[in-house]
Amino acid sequence: TLIDCTNLFISPGFIDMHVHLREPGFEYKETIESGSKAAAAGGFTTVACMPNTRPATDNADIVRFIIEQANKHGYARVLPIAAITAGQKGEELTDIPALKEAGAVGLSDDGRGVQRADRMKRAMEIAKQYDMPLIIHAEDETLSGKGCMNAGEAAERLGLPGIPDDAEAVMVARDIVLAEVTGAHLHVCHVSAKSVIELIRYAKGRGLPVTGEVAPHHLLLTDDQIDPDNSDWKVNPPLRTKRDREACIEAFLDGTLDIVATDHAPHSVEEKQKPFTEAPFGMVGLEIAFPLMYTHFVKTGRMTLNELVDRMATRPAKLFKLQGGRIQPGEPADLTVLDLHATKVIDPASFLSKGKNTPFAGQKAQGWPVLTMVDGVVSFDAR
């Protein structure tokens, strides 16, 4: 069958190295089926899913379960990121060779930081040996405490407990030191702060195998915009200051932050209706990442469309040695077809994700996926 792509743009399928698909254990928030459908609707052909499920993705059986579920539904390639420590409790290391053998593409305790340096150092030594990246959440929980938004002026004005950016920077500094002594690939998740960017610049300047990702919400939103009566604004790491946001933009444009990743974090409406101090952290991102990035980075002239495609497809494939990222003539493709002229108001009710939690609801965005194909098979078709 022929697909008419007149006036449409064909891109290699997007790769999101950071999503939460919630299965097993939190199927009311998302399943591998609903999450991979949302990925396809957002133009993503590959997503890497975080281990903070119940039970945590800390053994080979769960890694295989995730891959089987994803293959059964076929909406996207789903690459499990396995836990660094059993149950993400920060103590006992998982069996890294067995996790790799089962198909895990990286190691993380996302949703939590690995608090003990000795555990992280040992994990890096083994990960280096088995060529596994450490994909770190970077949070010193003794510094973030019970905070629910960025510490500083905005938090004081709202009377909400804050999370200082040093909670993030302290862990990144430690892990850069450990990456240097072990030689492991350290990938820093959801970078939100200028202080963290300075550390990544330092690491890259030393030639260390350190990479970084940035989420659309940290590129586009700041703490002074937070509506304390709407917990969809609550995310971890939190939205930070204008100065931090500007640093994220600059670092994304100059390549210090290598790739876009959404940290797609679906929660139920009931959970997000709780007060700001009690609601869970997280925002969904899969279905709006490209339109937001196209609208605010390409349409504004900050970067070209090809550069954005590089940061959302080609570069993640290269950094993590994944399939996809480019279209090979004559081969079944992972691709997405984009209508760059379409403008829509972001409406969570239309999301295929079970999660509707986004502070971007009601905003206009331009450039929407209309068809997605994984390994030559259509996974999403809005025509």
Task: Return the active site residues.
Answer: 263
Find the shortest distance in angstroms from Cβ 283 to ligand DOR.
Answer: 7
Q: Write out the residues near ligand DOR by the rule CB under 6 A.
A: 20, 52, 110-111, 137, 235-236, 265, 280-282
**From the list Zn ion, ligand DOR, none, which binds 235 (C-beta under 5 to 8 Å, kind-based)?**
ligand DOR
Residues whose CB is less than 8 angstroms from the CB of residue 87 and which lie 6 or more positions away in sequence, other chains included: 55, 56, 58
Q: Which is nearer to ligand DOR, 214 or 235 (CB)?
A: 235
Give the C-alpha separation, 103 to 226, whole Å: 39
Paired residues of 213 in beta bridges: 259
Give the nearest residue (CB) to ligand DOR: 282
Which token pair is 21? 């698909």
Nearer to ligand DOR, 35 or 111 (CB): 111
Q: Which does 33 bind (CB under 5 to 8 A by kind): ligand DOR, Zn ion, none?
A: Zn ion
Give Dmax (Cα) for the chain: 59
The 28-47 site mask, x for binding Zn ion (CB under 5 A), equals -----x--------------
Exactly one of 168, 263, 334, 339 binds Zn ion (CB under 5 A); that residue is 263
Q: Does 16 bind Zn ion (CB under 5 A)?
A: no
- Contact predicate 118/181, CB 8 Å: no
Q: Which does 52 bind (CB under 5 to 8 A by kind): Zn ion, ligand DOR, none?
A: ligand DOR
Is the torsion defined by CA of 12, 347, 340, 364 positive or negative? negative
| Least gap, CB of 26 to ligand DOR (angstroms) | 9
DSSP per-residue string spanning 206-224:
TT-SEEEEE-HHHHH--GG
Q: Quick one: three-class SS letters along 256-302?
A: CCCEECCCECCCCHHHHCCCCCCCCCCECCCCCHHHHHHHHHHCCCC
CA 10 to mean position of chain CA atoms = 23
58, 110, 168, 213: which one binds Zn ion (CB under 5 A): 110
Binding residues vs Zn ion (CB under 5 A): 33, 110, 137, 263
